Amino acid sequence: MKKLSVLLMLLLLWSGCVQNIQNIQSISSKGVTLRIPAYELNSHMQDLFPIISNLQYGSIELSNPKAILKKGSNKIIAGTSISYQNDNLPTQTGKLYISGSPYFDAVSGDIYLHSPKIEKLSFNGIDLFDYVKKPIIEAIQPNIDNIFAQYPIYKIDRSSFANSFIKDLYIEDGSLLVTFGL
User: Long-range contacts made by residues 24-29, C-beta under 8 angstroms, separation at least 24?
Assistant: 25/175, 25/177, 29/3, 29/4
pLDDT digits (tens, 9 = 90+) for 42-82: 888 888 889 888 878 888 899 999 998 887 788 999 999 99
Whether residue 170 has pLDDT greater than 80:
yes
Query: What's the whole-model pTM score?
Result: 0.75
Q: CATH number of the domain that 34 lies in? A: 3.15.10.40
CA angle 145, 90, 62 (to 5 degrees): 25
The total domain count for the chain is 1
Cβ(80)–Cβ(93) under 8 Å?
no
Q: Give the tens place of pLDDT for each residue, 85-110.
A: 988 889 989 999 999 999 888 788 88
Q: Which domain holds residue 9?
A: 2-180
Return the biggest CA–CA distance within the chain. Answer: 69
- 89's enclosing H/E stretch is strand 89-105
